Structure 1
Amino acid sequence: MQYPFSCLPITFGAIEKTLSPARLARYLPAALGDKHLALRLYIWNARLCEAMYLPMQFAEVAARNAIQIPVGKRFKDKWYENPKFINLLPPRKKDELADTVTKERGKRGGALNQDHIISSLPFGFWVSLMTSSYDKQLWMHGVQMAFPGAAAHEDRESIYNRLDLMRRFRNDIAHHVAIFDQSPQKEFQNVLHITKLVCAETHWLSAETARVGRVINERPAV
């Protein structure tokens, strides 16, 4: 779908005011100054962000659960209450963990378990556990326990770089940033690869259900 509409001037003016001229101006260079095409590009960019959501969800959930494996192995099921784990964290991450535990305990009471904490902690918390600060505590024996699909050349640092790239791309999407000219196909392949690091079958499902390539090919033209 090429979104081939064109608004009346009064309609376009109202839309531009609502979204802000500055926001739509981001698309004007790609639209060669055509404001109506810029609006169509804006909508297409939103559709592209929408298409990224499902494969990114697969990758993020897979990565969270994978990183928890060495955490749980070393610090047991209630790692989120274990002082030995908590004391490894910098102050900001300690606060994130404490806030999450307090919130989830308020909702779950005595039924609270690690699954609630894993899903509720910010993705950045999990990505931070892949930094060199945790080499000795979590990654001394390599990444295979958490990421069985990793090739021989893929180590903790390379996987961290992939996860952080996805984290930043994910944040751009969440803040409605233009991603259409940020190599979305490359970002999509990174997302798929992260899932593949954890599980080949889930990678297949993610690739099979994704609409990213189709939406990329629907870029509006003059």
Structure 2
Amino acid sequence: MKYKDYEAAFSQARLSRYLNACAGDKNKALILYRYNLKLCQKFYGVLGLFEVVFRNAVNEHYKRHFGDEDWIRTQIHAGGMLESSPQVSDVTRYISKLSDAGKYTHDRLVSSVSFGFWTYLFNKQPFRKGGQSLLAIFPHKTKGLGQRAIYNELMEIKSFRNRIAHHEPICFDMDGNKDVEFAQSNYNQILKYVGFLGYNKNELFYGLDVLPDRTIQKIRDL
């Protein structure tokens, strides 16, 4: 395929960012586009594993804290931790969908609600209503790192995750130059929180081709 064929397939507007970042070199632009796709693919694995261990830690914590195996459904009701949460409508929708299909269980609800639901639990109001105990899921967190800082950093990871989910590039800086610092810093942030949760990153990701170091370096070298 010629470059104009790729423009027709992917759109001129989408490819133009890569072309500009590569000083008009069409071959490099296409290579960078593919490297960005590969980098996003790598992060799907990293983010997927992180999301699972993160939400499971929160879920187990609140099951113990509330003494309730179905705490999410309980806490969206009046007087609950989540009664005025912007997450209520989504949680209610998932509960109805699962119940209507005769498939409702708490575990299925846990896997259905979004990553945004879990990060929201570190916001000031739900954190306080939840007994200000949620930081206990991070036994190895940096000393002195509090609720607000953790919430902000989790929101950065969420924003990064959403960029990938919406097929947005992660290989540019704010000015459109080729740059992997954004991806690298988020990668480091994810690994930091994996460590905070008490996992060894090499063991957690063992045997899985998910770590994006080589692709990051290829983009740097392009």
Give the TM-score taking structure 2 as reference length.
0.84
SS at match of 1:143: helix
Which of 116, 127, 136 matches 2:119? 127
Residue 160 of structure 1: how far off its partner (Å):
1.3
Which has the higher mean CA deviation after the structures are superposed, 81-90 or 14-23?
Answer: 81-90
Give me the CA root mean square deviation: 2.2
Q: 1:216: which partner in 2?
A: 216
> 1:87/1:43 Cα in 2 relative to 1: closer, same or farther (>3 Å)?
closer
Q: 2:193: which partner in 1?
A: 194
Deviation track 1:46-82 (CA, whole Å, cap 9, x = no partner) reads 0011111111112111221222234322261122331
Residue 113 of structure 1: how far off its partner (Å):
2.3
Residue 205 of structure 1: how far off its partner (Å):
2.7
2:216 and 2:42 map into 1 onto residues whose CA distance is 10
2:144 and 2:102 map into 1 onto residues whose CA distance is 42
Q: 1:4: which partner in 2?
A: none
> 1:190/1:142 Cα in 2 relative to 1: closer, same or farther (>3 Å)?
same
Residue 219 of structure 1: how far off its partner (Å):
2.4
Give the TM-score taking structure 1 as reference length.
0.84
How many residues are treated as equivalent by the alignment?
208
Which of 141, 152, 156 matches 2:147? 156
Q: Any conservation in 2 of the 1:162–1:194 contact (CA below 8 Å)?
A: no
1:220 and 1:160 map into 2 onto residues whose CA distance is 30
**Aligned residue type for 1:106:** D
1:68 and 1:44 map into 2 onto residues whose CA distance is 36
1:130-149 pair list within 5 angstroms:
130-141=122-133, 143-144=135-136, 146-149=137-140
Q: Any conservation in 2 of the 1:27–1:38 contact (CA below 8 Å)?
A: yes
> 1:64/1:19 Cα in 2 relative to 1: closer, same or farther (>3 Å)?
same
Residue 165 of structure 1: how far off its partner (Å):
0.7
1:149 and 1:28 map into 2 onto residues whose CA distance is 43
Deviation track 1:188-218 (CA, whole Å, cap 9, x = no partner) reads 11111122221323x3334554331011122
> 1:130/1:107 Cα in 2 relative to 1: closer, same or farther (>3 Å)?
same
Matched, 1:88 2:87: no
> 1:101/1:142 Cα in 2 relative to 1: closer, same or farther (>3 Å)?
closer
Residue 221 of structure 1: how far off its partner (Å):
6.0
Gaps of 5+ in 2: 174-180
2:220 and 2:194 map into 1 onto residues whose CA distance is 30
Q: 2:178: which partner in 1?
A: none
